[in-house]
Homo-oligomer: A and B are copies of this chain.
């Protein structure tokens, strides 16, 4: 397979489809940033287009409609969370350690553009169909958190807390930065994640 040596204005089929994919991603990134900054309803696709120096029909060329733009953004975030959950379930070590590692990643994702969008999107803005899928995928993540807590309790690394309410509390504490964290502020996502997880894991540590 010969790779092209000089930059040419004539692209191969793969190059073209990769370019298309890149443009799609650029649209999604611009959109999610505006959605996060102003809220889904207050952010218009005209604004999204303007922020990329393109026109609205171009967005429709790459994505079906406004809701689908949101759905794709949310899917990006959910995929990251899902991957983190899968890794945690496959990891070895005590339940406590695996939960801890997972929560750090979870908290950081919630400060990422697409992760924030997952948290900030409430299902009323979605069509009934999308909302159902959205809830189901979030429930999977929540199930992983509960599994990890239960496993930790079983192996003695986590105090025998109420699993359901512990997962509510953990989720709340680690979702909340999606609403207040300022990416341009002095606190780095890593630091917030670590410190928050330190505090919340304190409550799960078995008493001596």
Is A93 an interface position by the 8 A CB rule? no
CB-CB contacts below 8 Å: A157-208 with B: 159, 161-162, 165-166, 168-177, 179, 192, 195-196, 198-204, 207-208
Interface check A57, CB cutoff 8 A = no
Taking the closest CB of chain B, its distance from the CB of A47, in whole angstroms, is 13
Contact residues in B for A124 (Cβ distance below 8 Å): 37-39, 42
Of all chain B residues, which has the CB nearest A207? B208
Complex Cα distance A173/B203, Å? 12
Q: Which residues of B contact A198 (CB under 8 A)?
A: 162, 165
Chain copies in complex: 2
How many residues from A make CB contacts under 8 Å with B? Answer: 36
> What 0/1 pattern do residues 122 to 155 of A give for CB contact below 8 A with B?
1011000000000000000000000000000000
Is A41 located at the chain interface by the 8 A CB criterion? Answer: yes
Q: Which of B165, B179, B195, B207 contacts A207 (CB 8 A)?
A: B207
Nearest-neighbour CB distance to chain B for A176, whole angstroms, equals 3
Q: How many angstroms between the C-alpha atoms of A172 and B199 in the bound complex?
A: 12
Bound complex: CA of A39 vs CA of B124, how far in Å?
8
Q: Once the chains bind, are A195 and B162 in contact (CB under 8 Å)?
A: yes
- With beta carbons under 8 angstroms apart, the residue of B165, B199, B200 that contacts A196 is B165
For the complex of A and B, list the 7 residue pairs with the smallest distance between their C-beta atoms, beginning with the closest. A172-B176, A203-B203, A41-B41, A202-B203, A172-B173, A169-B173, A165-B195
Chain A interface (Cβ < 8 Å from any Cβ of B): 37-39, 41-42, 122, 124-125, 159, 161-162, 165-166, 168-177, 179, 192, 195-196, 198-204, 207-208
